[in-house]
Amino acid sequence: MENPENIIVVNNLVKRYGDFTANDNLCFEVRKGEIFGFLGANGAGKTTAIRILCGLSYPTSGELNVAGFDVYTQRELIKRNIGYMSQKFSLYDDLTIAENIRFYAGIYGLSQKVIKSRTNQLLERLGMEEIRNRLIRDVPLGWKQKLAFSVAVFHNPAVVFLDEPTGGVDPVTRRQFWEMINEAAEEGITVFVTTHYMDEAEYCDRVSIMVDGKIAALDTPQNLKKSYNTNDMNGVFLTLARGD
Amino acid sequence: MPEIAVNNLFKSYGAINALRDISFQVDKAEIFGIIGPDGAGKTSLFRILVSLLLPDKGSIQLAGLDVVKDYSQVRKIVGYMPGRFSLYQDLSVEENLSFFATVFGSSIETNYDLIKDIYVQIEPFKKRLAGRLSGGMKQKLALCCALIHRPEVLVLDEPTTGVDAVSRVEFWDLLHKIKKEGITIIVSTPYMDEAARCDRVALMQNGEFLGISLPGDIHKAFTKILYELTPEQGAYKLLKTMRSEAWCENAWLFGQSVHLTINGNTSENQFLSYAKGQNIEFRKITAGIEDTFMELMKTS
């Protein structure tokens, strides 16, 4: 990587499916320790790009580096150095809270000793010690999402990818979730997050907005609001994504 | 007579009380919104409304019909869009629509005028399999399928969840067109900003309604003084500082600002002089729906 301050570097990323171009020459960098919002309409190409950045799919062309590793030749190293949380699936319903933690930590190769002590710390911090042996299916959604995030950063990844992490939760839980994101960023974990809540875009250090496979804008929320002359990110998003 | 009348509705699953004494009425051609997070009980309520689930206690009338006794007639006059995408993924757009029309003994042509505005947006993809549509398109198709038999009551369970901000605006524009046809709409959403698009709103949490009001009146349930603090940068740092102060009752992040209430032992002047001393930019604001919802959650 040319600039050590950048944890993700994307140059000319193109991904085609047949004659459909899902990612059309994307170029951007994500700085170490920042909260980077990756916004776009449904079908704009966000998921395609995230899958490539996570080492789950190859780009058609372009140069990409994530946490110091190349997405063509070092995909396993990328996977070991990132965390991932999706809204749809994150924890196993038929395992307990403690079992889910042990399972994910084990996959990332943490030792039994480390897993044990960090699990206790984590459950204490989340106030979930008493329900550690409860099945995930019996845990309320808001708690599950906080736990899923904690599990995604349990192995201290360089970057954590969050794909619509706050869908459907109440406004208090949503804010508590963002406080956890802020804490993780303060500890040096880079956060790459997608959301449909435009107020959450304001919590990001910088935001990119994808439209039809291209990055239509990338800046701090303050600068974007100024450039598009609106009071909130919703205004910025509607202007760009609607093309009016 | 109200188009929908719900009286003292209860539903539990084992030890979980999904609905606790829910009562409300909806007028004909009203858009009635139910706003609340996952797990509030919205889906249970809707499944009972459309006769797919029996209540433990309570009664519901839809257009004068009893939902339990007259369920077969109820099903003819109700259009239901479940929260999960429930169309046939392996049928095309056109085939799905035709299937739903036929099931209700109707045809696409008969009620085409009702869905026309929506259908023209997905018509270019009418040969595409439903499973391969984008999120916003899927929702529009599901709405068409729920409308194709010209229901009197339209029940929409979180139609905009996972849908981007642009498609959400378009979707609500469509609901207002449908309302003009005289159709009553009851719709749930976890997005608080959608309250403004409803005629009346119920805020729901833990199986109960926290309140029912006109969208413009929701803030009236928030009775404290609310301050908005706008730091140059670092709202999260400011949030932590505020919470460490003894006089802080509640502080939450709202975008790049912090919303704050002070506790009863602190006078307004004490706070004002503190804020001036610390050079914190602030102003008094009217509570928004999220402020109000969070306040009501605490006291319920």
Report the complex ipTM: 0.85
Q: Give the residue on A whose Cα is nearest the Cα of B163.
A: A42
CB atoms within 10 A of CB B127: 9
From the list A168, A171, A238, the residue facing B166 with the nearest CB is A238
**Rounded distance, CA B207 to CA B41, Å?**
5
Q: What pLDDT does A243 receive?
A: 66
- Tell whether B163 lies on the interface with A, counting CB pairs under 8 A: yes
**Rounded distance, CA B71 to CA A21, Å?**
49
Kindly provide the b/e burial profile for residues A203-239, where b requires at least 16 CB atoms within 10 angstroms of the residue's own CB. Answer: bbbbbbbbbebebbbbeebeebbeeeeeeebbbbbbb
Specify the 3-state DSSP secondary structure of B144: helix
| B74 close to B65: Cβ distance less than 8 angstroms | yes
Q: What pLDDT does A220 receive?
A: 95
**Antiparallel, parallel or unpaired: β A35-40 and A206-211:** parallel
Q: Which of B218, B253, B273 is the last residue of a domain?
A: B218
- Tell whether B228 lies on the interface with A, counting CB pairs under 8 A: no
Nearest chain A Cα distance for residue B215, angstroms: 17
Residues of A in contact with B17 (CB under 8 A): none
Cβ of A241 within 8 Å of Cβ of B169? The answer is no
Please state, in angstroms and as integers, the Cα–Cα distance from residue B268 to each residue in A21, A80, B264, B287, B288, following that order. 58, 52, 10, 17, 21
Are residues B234 and B88 part of one domain?
Answer: no
Residues of B in contact with A203 (CB under 8 A): 235, 253, 255-256
Give the phi and the psi of residue A211 in degrees, each rounded to 5.
-135, 125
**Rounded distance, CA A22 to CA A20, Å?**
6
Are residues B66 and B51 part of one domain?
Answer: yes
The answer for residues whose C-beta is within 8 angstroms of residue B234's C-beta and 6 or more apart is: none
Domains held by chain B: number: 2
Q: Which of B180, B196, B218 is the last residue of a domain?
A: B218
Are residues B71 and B170 part of one domain?
Answer: yes
- Tell whether B296 lies on the interface with A, counting CB pairs under 8 A: no
Residue ranges of domains in chain A: 6-242
End-to-end CA distance of chain A, in Å?
38
Are residues B214 and B226 part of one domain?
Answer: no
pLDDT in tens, B279-300: 999 999 999 999 999 998 877 6
Nearest chain A Cα distance for residue B44, angstroms: 16
Are residues B279 and B163 part of one domain?
Answer: no
Q: Name the class of domain A6-242.
A: alpha beta
Are residues B241 and B171 part of one domain?
Answer: no
Q: Which of B218, B247, B282 is the last residue of a domain?
A: B218
Q: What pLDDT does B255 receive?
A: 87
Interface of B with A in 13-42 (CB under 8 A): 36-39
CATH code of B40's domain? 3.40.50.300
Are residues B274 and B150 part of one domain?
Answer: no
CB atoms within 10 A of CB A119: 19
| A168 close to B38: Cβ distance less than 8 angstroms | yes
Cβ of A43 within 8 Å of Cβ of B134? The answer is yes
From the list A44, A141, A232, the residue facing B38 with the nearest CB is A141
Both tokens of residue A147?
């736990």
Are residues B200 and B129 part of one domain?
Answer: yes
Closest CA to B190 of A59, A171, A218: A171
- Tell whether B256 lies on the interface with A, counting CB pairs under 8 A: yes
**Rounded distance, CA A56 to CA B155, Å?**
39
Q: What pLDDT does B300 receive?
A: 63
CATH code of B265's domain? 3.30.70.100
> What 3 state SS string does chain A have?
CCCCCEEEEEEEEEEEECCEEEEEEEEEEEECCCEEEEEECCCCCHHHHHHHHCCCCCCCEEEEEECCEECCCCHHHHHHHEEEEECCCCCCCCCEHHHHHHHHHHHCCCCHHHHHHHHHHHHHHHCCHHHCCCEHHHCCHHHHHHHHHHHHCCCCCCEEEEECCCCCCCHHHHHHHHHHHHHHHHCCCEEEEECCCHHHHCCCCEEEEEECCEEEEEECHHHHHHHCCCCCHHHHHHHHHHCC
| A109 close to A79: Cβ distance less than 8 angstroms | no
For B179, the domain range is: 4-218
Are residues B288 and B177 part of one domain?
Answer: no
Q: What pLDDT does B59 receive?
A: 96
Cβ of A203 within 8 Å of Cβ of B255? The answer is yes
Nearest chain B Cα distance for residue A189, angstroms: 16
Entry field: residues in chain B: 300
Are residues B172 and B84 part of one domain?
Answer: yes
Residues of chain B with pLDDT under 50: none
**Rounded distance, CA A16 to CA A5, Å?**
30
Residues of chain A with pLDDT under 50: 1
pLDDT in tens, B41-95: 999 999 999 999 999 999 999 999 999 999 999 999 999 999 888 899 999 999 9
Are residues B164 and B43 part of one domain?
Answer: yes
Are residues B250 and B184 part of one domain?
Answer: no
